[in-house]
């Protein structure tokens, strides 16, 4: 979802910068159509759009992981499991059964029958 949103924003940014360049050429007549500055503007618009994608994805991933872990903690609390740390819910979410001794500690970390 973060990638799709970042790609959408990058495409909108690219289109907005191209429209701005076209307005400079056709509406305001500040440059001619064959001016090399137009190619530079298109290349800069592309670089900015790629930069938006490159920045959006790594910055959004920690937020997405934290939100998903918080959601799993609340789900586990509804089932009666109290999780004090978010990263513990990632491990506990995949456990089907937990075998402990009478003191409640895991001794060998493997289930035997």
Q: Is residue 99 assigned to a domain?
A: no
Average pLDDT, the chain: 78
**Is residue 5 pLDDT above 80, yes or no?**
yes
Q: Does residue 109 form part of some domain?
A: no
- Residue 23's domain comprises 2-92
Task: Answer yes or no: is 26 within a domain.
Answer: yes
Tens of pLDDT, residues 53-99: 888 777 667 777 777 777 777 877 787 777 676 666 555 555 555 55
Q: How confident is the model at residue 34 (pLDDT cuts 50, 70, 90)?
A: confident
CA distance 88 to 52: 33
Count of domains forming the chain:
1
Whether the predicted pLDDT of 45 surpasses 90: yes
> Does the annotation count 101 as an active-site position?
yes
In a domain, 11, yes or no: yes
Q: Does 106 fall in a domain?
A: no
Asked if residue 107 belongs to a domain, the reply is no
97, 102, 107, 111: CA torsion to nearest 10 = -30
Q: Which residues contact 37 (CB under 8 A, 6 or more apart)?
A: 31
- Identify which has the larger pLDDT, 41 or 58: 41
Residue 44 pLDDT greater than 60, yes or no? yes
In a domain, 72, yes or no: yes
Is 100 contained in some domain?
A: no
Confidence band, pLDDT 50/70/90 cuts, at residue 9 = very high
pLDDT score of 94: 58
User: Cα(28)–Cα(25) distance, rounded to whole angstroms?
Assistant: 6
Which one, of 20, 3, 1, lies nearest residue 56 by Cα? 3
- pLDDT above 90 covers what percent of the chain? 26
């Amino acid at each position: 979802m973060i990638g799709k949103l970042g790609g959408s924003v990058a495409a909108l940014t690219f289109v907005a910068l191209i429209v701005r360049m076209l307005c400079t050429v056709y509406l305001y007549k500040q440059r001619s159509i064959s001016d090399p500055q137009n190619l530079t503007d298109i290349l800069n618009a592309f670089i900015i759009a790629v930069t938006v994608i490159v920045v959006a994805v790594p910055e959004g991933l920690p937020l997405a992981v934290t939100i998903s872990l918080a959601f799993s903690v609340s789900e586990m609390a509804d089932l009666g499991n109290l999780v004090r740390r978010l990263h513990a819910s990632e491990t506990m979410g995949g456990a089907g059964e937990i075998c402990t001794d009478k003191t409640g500690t895991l001794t060998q970390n493997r289930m035997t029958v």
